[in-house]
């Protein structure tokens, strides 16, 4: 049993005798320890990946009566959708024209991720909100910032809900 611990027996004639595999066991243990430490250190290394910073979006805002909501404010936000907590990363705002239309240009950028961390890579998505004289409405876009890079521009029609004044995630401004 002492050969597992690296002890050497003395044989006939005073020669040292080494048990087979002792050095192999030592080297494998050292390599395993070094590999584990390198893997633990590498989990915190950030990687850059392509991502949609702002989706291409064509928005038509209508009042409850079906008429265009001229001058409605349209907010687009980029946020972490999972794991919790939901955290806003960016926000853009435009004002609808006389026909209730507004446009967001598509912007591709990069995100820094650490894929081997405990919760993995967070999911990043988008929400759009329109608010105006006729009410407000919030809509989540079914678009993932990193997985849907090939997605074309979206056409979206939003009908304001009467009596609602805010998007639910921004302070009400007068």
Tens of pLDDT, residues 9-21: 555 665 665 555 6
More confident residue, 27 or 74: 74
Mean pLDDT of 61-75: 95
What is the residue-averaged pLDDT of the chain? 81
End-to-end Cα spacing for the chain? 82
Mean pLDDT of 73-87: 89
Q: Is residue 70 part of a domain?
A: yes
Which domain range does residue 143 map to? 47-159
Same domain, residue pair 38 and 54 = no
Mean pLDDT of 84-91: 87
Q: How confident is the model at residue 109 (pLDDT cuts 50, 70, 90)?
A: very high
Q: State residue 13's pLDDT score.
A: 62
Q: List beta partners, residue 16.
A: 10
Continuous segment of H or E residues that includes residue 24:
helix 22-42
Mean pLDDT of 118-138: 88
How far, CA to CA in Å, does 132 sit from each of 11, 14, 157, 158? Answer: 95, 97, 14, 12
**DSSP calls for 134-173:** TEEEEEEE---TTT-TT--PEEEEEEPBTT--S-SSS---
Q: State residue 104's pLDDT score.
A: 96
Mean pLDDT of 78-106: 92
Same domain, residue pair 144 and 68 = yes
Same domain, residue pair 82 and 122 = yes
Continuous segment of H or E residues that includes residue 17:
strand 16-17
**113's tokens:** 């991720």
How far, CA to CA in Å, does 3 sit from each of 13, 22, 110? Answer: 20, 7, 55
Q: State residue 84's pLDDT score.
A: 77
Same domain, residue pair 62 and 38 = no
Q: Is residue 66 part of a domain?
A: yes
Give the SS3 label for residue 88. Answer: strand
Q: State residue 172's pLDDT score.
A: 45
Q: Is residue 14 part of a domain?
A: yes
Whether 56 has a pLDDT exceeding 80, the answer reads yes
Q: State residue 4's pLDDT score.
A: 47
Q: What domain count does the chain have?
A: 2
Q: Is residue 108 part of a domain?
A: yes
């Amino acid at each position: 049993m002492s050969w597992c611990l690296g002890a050497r027996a003395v044989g006939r004639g005073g020669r040292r005798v080494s048990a087979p595999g002792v050095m192999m066991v030592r080297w494998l243990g050292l390599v395993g320890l070094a590999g584990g430490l390198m893997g633990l250190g590498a989990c915190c290394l950030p990687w850059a990946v392509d991502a949609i910073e702002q989706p291409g979006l064509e928005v038509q805002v209508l009042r409850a009566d079906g008429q265009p909501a001229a001058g409605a404010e349209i907010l687009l936000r980029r946020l972490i959708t999972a794991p919790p907590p939901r955290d806003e990363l960016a926000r853009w705002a435009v004002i609808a024209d006389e026909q209730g239309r507004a446009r967001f240009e598509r912007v591709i950028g990069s995100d820094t991720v650490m894929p081997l961390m405990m919760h993995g890579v967070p999911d990043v998505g988008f929400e759009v909100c329109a608010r105006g004289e006729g009410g407000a409405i919030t809509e989540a876009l079914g678009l993932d910032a990193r997985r849907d890079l090939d997605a074309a521009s979206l056409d979206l029609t939003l009908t304001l809900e009467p009596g609602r004044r805010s998007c639910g995630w921004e302070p009400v401004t007068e």
